[in-house]
Chains A and B, each alone.
Chain A
Amino acid sequence: MNIVSIGFFVAIVGLTLVVTYIAAKRTSSAADFYTAGGGLKGWQNGFAIAGDYLSAAAFLGVSGAIALTGFDGFFFSVGYVVANLVLLYVIAEPMRNLGRYTLADMLTARFNEKRIRGVAASGTIIIVILYMIAQLVGAGALIKLLFGIEYWVAVLIVGVMMTTYVLFGGMTATSWVQIIKASLLLFGTGLLATLVLVKFDFSLLKMFDTIAVDHGEEFLVPGIKYTSTIDSVSMMMALVLGTSGLPHILMRFFTVKDAKTARSSISWTTWITAIFFSLTIFLGFGALNFVGLDQILAESKAGNTAAPLLAHYLGGDVLMAFIGAVAFATILAVVSGLVLTGASAISHDIYGEIIKDGKLTEKQQVVAARTGSISIAIVSIILALFAQSLNVSFLVSFAFCIGASANLPVILYTIYWKKFNSTGAVAAMVTGLVSCLILGAMGPNVWSPVEGAAIFVGKPLVPLAVPAIITIPLGFIAGYLGSVLSSSKVPKEEAERIYKEIRVKSNTGVSVSDISH
């Protein structure tokens, strides 16, 4: 670990702590803690959502995947970018108009039942923990590589930092850490891409020619990693639909004051992610050409250090230290958002609303939120310490699969389908979640005939790495059947009255504007 690395590292930690200190003074109520008081501007929330998308898995993982597998790695980039449209067209505005702090708040706006809240909160906690372990394991490995710190020390450093941001600065600090990191990441990626383009005389054609001639034409088309159409289709479905079901993304829509601002947030996010993910081509192919496959593989089998290695080639120790520090900030920002989301499910949904019937005072809510944050942080850190050898990208794609199969059907039905009822909601969420877990446990990430390639040795019963192509339809079908089969048990007039209210609120935002005045 050299002096420049330490300098960037300290600068980033210092900057985020200053932000947290300022945010802490503004964080006094539960609304401040969970949603920054709903006071973020469109561009701020847009950068923060982009920050959530651009996790370490996206920045390091995608550029590494393109370096190692060519177009197969770029599938992810396309998925993340188009996912914005699903959020924008069918989710963002109704979500803002109906919810308060959590996904469960939005669902219980229509079905005021504890079992709905309980199931939704459990789903949120499972997704958050999966995603968090993936980020922490990735962080530990990365920091070990960049700074030569032991894995467990690295996980502890990240764990303490994320807890500090969330505990003192709540959503305000988390959002600003996210905004700073997204800006730095965009700058860093832009710089690397420009330097790569300079080497190719600013010619895309020349870059592709060099890749084709020096490294092989197989990098130009899919096939190095993904060979089956159905496997790729399934993964792409999880990416584009799962984003709209990830609780830490959904929660970001409650940090703005109205649907119009939610819309402008996603508009910002769309531009930022489209630019960023276009640049991943240059990072990936740049690393392949200038660093070389052998060296990338020697550092990390998954190619996770392709981007920092490319930075070293292009700008020496200083640029590598900068990119390393940005990657560190990326991890910190994403895990902080996850801690906050997990805390909202534990403290607000389960403790505040289910156990205490929503009768907590403002002060008790804030105490509960902080206690929940510490609990979720501790659990995740402990799990991450034992999960060092797990395949990180598998965990992330799994979280997307659960988001798409368990959360998305129930969100869409709640907003748009009149005959949907609470039995259908429970059926959809439980079926989506359980089918993902079961099919995933029978899949090739858990079972492999080759010893050491997966957790168990054996032939996978389900050949799909990401079972989304089966589980998403299952979630929708379960929601439909659950509603239709139980329709006689639901008091019709009451259900219709509530749906009318939901329909008016989600389409006009009338309740949100009233509450904020």
Chain B
Amino acid sequence: MANVSNKKQAPSIDYDAIEAMESFNSFVRKKNIFLFSITAVFLILYILLPILAFQPVLQQKIFGNITGVWVYSAGLFVMTIVLCTVYVKKAASFDKAAADVLAEYHAKGGK
């Protein structure tokens, strides 16, 4: 019934079968641990800015008249660029893992 008669129609994918695969679940688990642990780290570092900004630690001068809040903010800019680069690199390996999962599914006879 779900057979492909119309070329434009996507072949029906057995999502249950993919979701049951061990390789899929271990890939998703790894990916989510990576995503959420990094997200937690940068959100905490970020929200510390408005908290520490009113404390002496970030109000003191560090370089000449440049105070801690500016230095910490610059750090957050650098963090953003670095984590963006890390993500793009890491995501390439996730792409490969996802492609492997799909290849395994197709090899097992999935459409």
Measured between beta carbons, the chain A residues less than 8 angstroms from B49 are 75, 78, 236
Q: With A85-B83, A208-B66 as given contacts, are A75 and B50 in contact (CB-CB < 8 Å)?
A: yes
Q: Taking the complex as formed, is B93 at the interface, i.e. its CB lies under 8 A from any CB of chain A?
A: no
Q: Is the CB of B81 within 8 A of A500?
A: no
Q: Is the CB of B84 within 8 A of A236?
A: no
Q: Is the CB of B19 within 8 A of A82?
A: no
**Bound Cα distance A77, B49 (Å):** 12
B95 interface neighbour in A89, A260, A267, Cβ under 8 Å: A260
Q: Is the CB of A89 within 8 A of B39?
A: yes
The A26-74 residues at the B interface (CB cut-off 8 A) are 71, 74
Interface code B71-88, partner A: CB below 8 Å = 1, 0 otherwise?
A: 001001101110111011
Q: With A78-B76, A514-B13 as given contacts, are A85 and B42 in contact (CB-CB < 8 Å)?
A: yes
Q: Taking the complex as formed, is A361 at the interface, i.e. its CB lies under 8 A from any CB of chain B?
A: no
Query: By DSSP majority rule, is chain B's interface helix, strand, loop, or mixed?
Result: helix
> Closest B-chain residue to A516, C-beta based?
B10
Q: Is the CB of B81 within 8 A of A271?
A: yes
Measured between beta carbons, the chain B residues less than 8 angstroms from A341 are none
Interface size on A, residues (CB 8 A): 58
Interface size on B, residues (CB 8 A): 51
Interface code A219-236, partner B: CB below 8 Å = 1, 0 otherwise?
A: 011110010010011011
Q: Is the CB of A205 within 8 A of B102?
A: no
Q: Is the CB of B66 within 8 A of A236?
A: no
The B39-57 residues at the A interface (CB cut-off 8 A) are 39, 42-43, 46-47, 49-51, 53-54
Shortest CB-to-CB span from A128 to chain B, Å, is 27
Q: Is the CB of B35 within 8 A of A90?
A: yes
Measured between beta carbons, the chain A residues less than 8 angstroms from B70 are 71, 74, 208, 220, 281
**Bound Cα distance A27, B91 (Å):** 33
Q: Is the CB of B64 within 8 A of A209?
A: yes
Q: Which residues of A are in contact with B by a Cβ distance under 8 Å?
A: 71, 74-75, 77-78, 81-82, 84-86, 88-90, 93, 204-205, 208-209, 211-212, 217, 220-223, 226, 229, 232-233, 235-237, 240, 260, 263-264, 266-267, 270-271, 274, 277-278, 281, 416, 497, 500-501, 503-505, 507-511, 514-515
11 contacts between A and B (CB under 8 A): A77-B73, A78-B46, A90-B36, A205-B63, A208-B66, A229-B53, A229-B54, A240-B43, A240-B46, A263-B87, A267-B87
Other than the given A75-B53, A511-B10, 5 more pairs (CB < 8 A) read: A89-B38, A205-B63, A229-B50, A267-B88, A514-B13
Q: Top 10 closest A-B pairs, CB basis?
A: A232-B50, A514-B10, A500-B19, A208-B65, A205-B64, A501-B15, A212-B65, A270-B84, A508-B98, A220-B67
